[in-house]
Amino acid sequence: MFKSLKGIGLLLIANVLIFITLSITFNLLVSVILPAFGIDLQGAVHQQDLLWALVIGFGGAFISLAFSKQMARAMLDCQQITQPRTQAEHVVYGAVQEISQRLHIQMPEVWVYEAPDPNAFATGPSKNNSMVAVSTGLLSNLNEQEVKAVLAHEMGHVYNGDMFTTTVLAGLMNTFVYFISMWVRRLFAERDQAMLGMVLSFVLQIVLGILAMIPIMWFSRRREFGADAFSARVYGKDAMISALRGIERWVTRAQPEYTTQDPLVTFKISGKTGGAMSLFASHPSIEERVAALQQLRS
């Protein structure tokens, strides 16, 4: 109970500090910086828009985080492991239990979901309220040590609080998207062009929302390296490298069907992307991850 209240308190403090920072930045920009360049927006920009943008941007992000486990379970054909029955279930459950005890955190829920591709993920509002899920494809394509390395990687996400920090970043990006779109809508409304302002506001939300995904996905790729390093500390870097190589072999065999038919390929550990789409990939390439692991000290 105390840990839960502490987490809520930290969340509220984080939101207040972010709002104060944005407010100060807002006032400096509108009152000092822009007027210095001859741009006067003081009558057109309203601070209450920033407040509403903050509430909507962070509110949506944290509601999604709060219900992330429920949404994940609803979207997948999955089964929770509470009493392992098969050898594979013993490996999965035992690895998560072992790492949780080592880290002194509450053991996440452990789930297995039906999917042919070798994948795994972790989600949940906090490190003491989370879930770890692996696909049946992961269990059938990797050996026990490789599966445990992937689970350690996911536990790295849990322990590092990656879900929370990603949510804060998403909330910040959403705030700016909503604020700019609301400012444009208000600006045109004050010029008796409310319909045009509404259309432009809608288009801006879409365009800026897409652009906001770039820094969010960049951070997501950075955190993957951290989770890989965590796995290397738990089971050794060779196990994680072997797991990534095993996933890479599966992707090579499954292409091009896998990459052309799976709309979520850029968000998966086994996804391969190139060109502009790499900016929107949640995971670095396997080659980059292996290279980073090889540079770690044994």
**Which residue in 145, 159, 165, 162 sits closest to 101, CA to CA?**
159
Instruction: Compute the distance between CA of residue 25 and CA of residue 28 in angstroms, rounded to an integer.
Output: 5
Instruction: Compute the distance between CA of residue 258 and CA of residue 262 in angstroms, rounded to an integer.
Output: 6
Q: Which tokens sit at 39?
A: 């741009």
User: Is 154 labeled as catalytic in the residue annotation?
Assistant: yes
Tell me which of 154, 224, 248, 257 is the catalytic residue. Answer: 154
Instruction: Compute the distance between CA of residue 118 and CA of residue 115 in angstroms, rounded to an integer.
Output: 8
Taking residue 48's Cβ as centre, other Cβ atoms within 10 Å add up to 8
Taking residue 294's Cβ as centre, other Cβ atoms within 10 Å add up to 10
Which residues lie closer than 8 Å to 154 by C-beta, 6 or more apart?
Answer: 120, 121, 122, 132, 227
Instruction: Compute the distance between CA of residue 293 and CA of residue 229 in angstroms, rounded to an integer.
Output: 7
Helices (H), 67-135: 68-75, 87-103
Q: Catalytic residue positions? A: 154
